[in-house]
Amino acid sequence: MLAKQIYKDKTILSNCKLTMTTTPMSTDTSLPPLKIYTIDDPPLITEPESFIEIGKFDATRPIAIDFGSYNIRAGYTGFEFPYFDFPARLTRHRDRKMSKTFTFIGNNTRLDQTVRSQSKTPFDGNIVTNWDYVEDILEYTFHHLGVKPNNGIPNPLVINERLACLQSQRKNWYQMVFETFNLEQVAFGVDSLFAFYANNPTGVADGIIVNCSNEETDVIPVVKGKGILTECKRINWGGRHSAEFLSSILTLKYPYFPSKLSSFQYEYMYHNFCYTAGNYTKEIETLLSLPSLEDQNIVVEVPFTEILHPKKTEEELKRQAEKRKETGKRLQEQAKQRRMEKLVQKTEEYEYFSRVRDSLADQPKKNILSVLQNAGFDDEADFKKYMYNLEKSLKRAQILEADEHDEHDETENKFELVDVPDQELNEEQIKEKRKQRFLKASFDARIKAKEEKARIAKLEEEARIKDQEWRESSLSTWIKDKRGKLGALIKKRKDKLKLRDEMKDRKSQVAQNRMKNLANLAEDSPRQKRSRHQASIDNDPNDTFGANDDDWQVYNDITANPEAFDELLEDEYKEIVELEGKLLEYDPNFTEEDTLDAQYDWRNSVYHLFLRGPRPHDSEDPHQQHQMHLNVERIRVPEILFEPTIGGQDQAGIAELCETIVTKKFDSKPSKISDVALNMCKNVWLTGGNAQIPNMKQRIVNEFTSFLPSGTPIGVHMSENPSLDAWKGMSKFAQSEEAFKEAVITKKEYEEFGSEYIKEHKLGNFKYFEESARL
């Protein structure tokens, strides 16, 4: 529902863009919007775990528990499905008001947000580390199963063990079932062998089990229904690792993602959007091309609360603009007033000192110096310098004034007082005269500036006409010239960008040369030619620095003044666009695609396609800020099972392990594969929750085809719900009396043989050691 709403919003948004933006983007918005998946935490469940009525099943019916690290499946044997299937999680929740601690287990942890987020697993990797949790979970399971207790559990039990589990783990399990729960009969077995048994109930089939569980992945050969654990191999990578890997590559891909995702969300993405590549190396070659990305790219969006800015009415906007204008005007006027006052002061000063200069013109030097020193100058030079600067600043101010008055011409100005000698005027008039004189000067300057402008405009017009004539007379040479110019400009721009990049890198050639130059210049005594003639830095004939204009680039420090550099780039860019515009208009061979903008097109950028998918990116759009694109990740993560080195596991992948079993073990040679091995190839079983990643089966078929001689029959199977296989196998196993009897360990046996006792059977673990020949 929400996703639909968002989808709708997107359409509206992109339609808006269609009308708003111009040129290069307008073609993009014609593309249909992508489907967006909203990724939220999984919803809470509403129904607590149910109970089976106590004593509904009698005490002779065996119970089967598949104690997995992801989910626990439990139920009475003889049914097709386990009665309970809940996550192996537990939360201890302290109720402060009642000062009691409640324990929530399995599905009950999913009823409340806080309880769920605080839930923990008894496992650390594939090993149980918290046995208190296991005890509570088992008690909870028996309680819900409605077992009629009798200082313990009277029913027989089938339970799973890890493949080649640790001695300490087995010891704890024995203690748990025989001592704590007081069970009489327990059969231990390996879950993946049970899973195989569930699908090959005759119990004599050959095959290979590929068990993809949450914590590990195993490849186990089976001969005549018996797991050959001496040849089995374990890859230390499971579904949990994959989900975590996805989480780390996505946080690296989007380092500034605005919200933090929970592990549930990454798990959701892994389960729903990842799939096994049929051939990874081939698929990554084409995955990021536009057409394939169109269906492979998945956009996920994290829910967020959008901040809506209330839209202002037109009237309000108008009023605001007016207000701003007024204050601006006032400030400008104030500034002008101040400038005027300063100018008047300066002109007065200038006049005074010019009179002083005139009066000093034919006086002896001594006199001049004393007068000047009285006025506060060091010497004549200082005075001259002061006058020069004053003159300059006056001129500058006049030009500035001229520019400002450009609009409102005041030709009416009269400067009647200017030519009247001072003696004829009173004090007021003298002041007025000074002002007028200044105004007259600025008026003259204005006229001059205007003339200059007109001249430039005329020149430009002439150039334009000339250009047009040239174009009309011989288009080809015109195009050639313009293209050459454009090429040169683009090259210049590229060089500039490169220079900027290299300047950033302290070790680059450019930066080092620059340092060398600066060091040479800073050196007091250029060592080289000193002996020949006393050359200072000013008259060293060997120092040609500065002769070439480019030398001065040394001081043009890009990193120190990035704004100026950016401006320069911007100007150049404008020039390029202008030239391109002309070429677009008149050169039939110059199309949109040849422009500089098109060459920076996102369509050509692998990085853009990887990061933002097959659409342009708008960083202002809050929806797009909260979106991630899954493309290569979708196959990169499941690929780890076939190449564990991608995930940092220095191990062979599933396919290679299968290949070794089929072509090198069981009397096989790569040249001749034995009958047993050929039988195995016909009966490969995928099991475990992680096998549900789409296309896994096809990939295994592909791999087997690649290492087997052509035409060899291959059969790869997977049940409808491979995560239930193990429990179903247990259930079937307990129903078959003979097999069960063979595997069961009684309490008496445990008491007699101790915790190191292993009863080997078809579906169980082997002993740790075997005795070889006597010495």
Partner 1 sequence: MSADARLEYLRTIATPNIIDVPSPFKSKKGQLKKKVNRRNKASRQLIADELKRINLILQPPEENEQQQSTATTPSSTTSSSPSTTTTTTITTEYKKLTPKVTYFNINAPPSMKPPKKYCDITGLNGPYTSPTNNIRYHNSEIYQIIVKPMVPGTDQEYLKLRGANFVLK
Cβ neighbours of residue 120 closer than 8 Å, sequence gap 6 or more: 89, 90, 91, 130, 133
- Our CB check for partner 1 shows the closer of 372 and 691 to be 691
- CA–CA distance, 18 with 30 (Å, rounded to integer): 8
Are 390 and 349 in contact, with CB atoms under 8 Å apart?
Answer: yes
- Our CB check for partner 1 shows the closer of 226 and 357 to be 226
713 backbone dihedrals φ, ψ, rounded to 5°: -70, 130
For the bound state, the minimum distance from the C-beta of residue 735 to partner 1, rounded and expressed in Å, comes to 24
For the bound state, the minimum distance from the C-beta of residue 74 to partner 1, rounded and expressed in Å, comes to 14
- 647's tokens: 């995930």
Q: How far is CA 319 from CA 264, 311, 313, 330, in A?
A: 51, 15, 10, 17
Q: How far is CA 118 from CA 92, 105, 226, 241, 538, in A?
A: 8, 11, 41, 20, 78
H helix intervals, 111-190:
113-118, 131-145, 167-174
For the bound state, the minimum distance from the C-beta of residue 523 to partner 1, rounded and expressed in Å, comes to 32
For the bound state, the minimum distance from the C-beta of residue 497 to partner 1, rounded and expressed in Å, comes to 11
With vertex at residue 315, the alpha carbon angle to CA 311 and CA 318, rounded to the nearest 5 degrees, is 100
For the bound state, the minimum distance from the C-beta of residue 123 to partner 1, rounded and expressed in Å, comes to 8
For the bound state, the minimum distance from the C-beta of residue 69 to partner 1, rounded and expressed in Å, comes to 11
For the bound state, the minimum distance from the C-beta of residue 702 to partner 1, rounded and expressed in Å, comes to 16
Letter string b/e over residues 35-64, b meaning 16 or more CB atoms within 10 A of that residue's CB: ebbbbeeeeeeeeebeebeeeebeeeebbb
Q: How far is CA 474 from CA 103, 577, 581, in A?
A: 91, 23, 19
- Our CB check for partner 1 shows the closer of 165 and 701 to be 165
For the bound state, the minimum distance from the C-beta of residue 651 to partner 1, rounded and expressed in Å, comes to 4
For the bound state, the minimum distance from the C-beta of residue 636 to partner 1, rounded and expressed in Å, comes to 4
- Our CB check for partner 1 shows the closer of 253 and 665 to be 253
Are 627 and 36 in contact, with CB atoms under 8 Å apart?
Answer: yes
Are 106 and 143 in contact, with CB atoms under 8 Å apart?
Answer: no
- CA–CA distance, 686 with 723 (Å, rounded to integer): 10
For the bound state, the minimum distance from the C-beta of residue 593 to partner 1, rounded and expressed in Å, comes to 19
Are 86 and 57 in contact, with CB atoms under 8 Å apart?
Answer: no
- Our CB check for partner 1 shows the closer of 131 and 386 to be 131
Are 744 and 733 in contact, with CB atoms under 8 Å apart?
Answer: no
- CA–CA distance, 326 with 314 (Å, rounded to integer): 18
With vertex at residue 39, the alpha carbon angle to CA 283 and CA 305, rounded to the nearest 5 degrees, is 135
For the bound state, the minimum distance from the C-beta of residue 653 to partner 1, rounded and expressed in Å, comes to 7
- CA–CA distance, 207 with 679 (Å, rounded to integer): 7
- Our CB check for partner 1 shows the closer of 125 and 328 to be 125
- Our CB check for partner 1 shows the closer of 264 and 766 to be 766
For the bound state, the minimum distance from the C-beta of residue 153 to partner 1, rounded and expressed in Å, comes to 6
Closest to 60 (Cα-Cα) out of 184, 156, 158:
156
- Our CB check for partner 1 shows the closer of 479 and 616 to be 616
DSSP 149-164: -SSS--S-EEEEE-TT
- Our CB check for partner 1 shows the closer of 21 and 118 to be 118
- Our CB check for partner 1 shows the closer of 100 and 532 to be 100
- Our CB check for partner 1 shows the closer of 45 and 360 to be 45
The DSSP secondary-structure symbol of 753 reads: H
For the bound state, the minimum distance from the C-beta of residue 105 to partner 1, rounded and expressed in Å, comes to 7
Q: How far is CA 765 from CA 123, 196, 204, 734, in A?
A: 20, 15, 18, 17
DSSP 68-135: -SSEEEEEETTSSS-SEEEES-EEEEEETTTTEEEEEEGGGGGSSHHHHHH-B-SEETTEE--HHHHH
- Our CB check for partner 1 shows the closer of 151 and 202 to be 151
- Our CB check for partner 1 shows the closer of 632 and 730 to be 632
- Our CB check for partner 1 shows the closer of 438 and 666 to be 666
For the bound state, the minimum distance from the C-beta of residue 287 to partner 1, rounded and expressed in Å, comes to 8
- CA–CA distance, 691 with 672 (Å, rounded to integer): 30
The DSSP secondary-structure symbol of 279 reads: S
Are 115 and 104 in contact, with CB atoms under 8 Å apart?
Answer: yes
For the bound state, the minimum distance from the C-beta of residue 274 to partner 1, rounded and expressed in Å, comes to 12
Are 236 and 216 in contact, with CB atoms under 8 Å apart?
Answer: yes
If phi > 0 it is left, if psi is from -120 to 50 it is alpha, else beta; for residue 146 that is: left
For the bound state, the minimum distance from the C-beta of residue 258 to partner 1, rounded and expressed in Å, comes to 19
The DSSP secondary-structure symbol of 212 reads: E
- Our CB check for partner 1 shows the closer of 612 and 728 to be 612
Helix (H, G, I), strand (E, B) or coil at 26: helix
For the bound state, the minimum distance from the C-beta of residue 572 to partner 1, rounded and expressed in Å, comes to 20
- Our CB check for partner 1 shows the closer of 448 and 498 to be 498
Pairing of strands 226-227, 207-212: unpaired
Q: What is the CB-side half-sphere exposure of residue 447 using CA atoms within 13 A?
A: 7
- Our CB check for partner 1 shows the closer of 143 and 357 to be 143
425 backbone dihedrals φ, ψ, rounded to 5°: -110, 150
Give 521-527 contacts, CB < 8 A, sequence gap 24+: 521/545
- Our CB check for partner 1 shows the closer of 334 and 705 to be 705
The interaxial angle of helices 365-374 and 380-404, nearest 10 deg, is: 60
For the bound state, the minimum distance from the C-beta of residue 247 to partner 1, rounded and expressed in Å, comes to 11
Q: Which amino acid is at 722?
A: P
Q: What is the residue whose two structure tokens read 């098109």?
A: 598
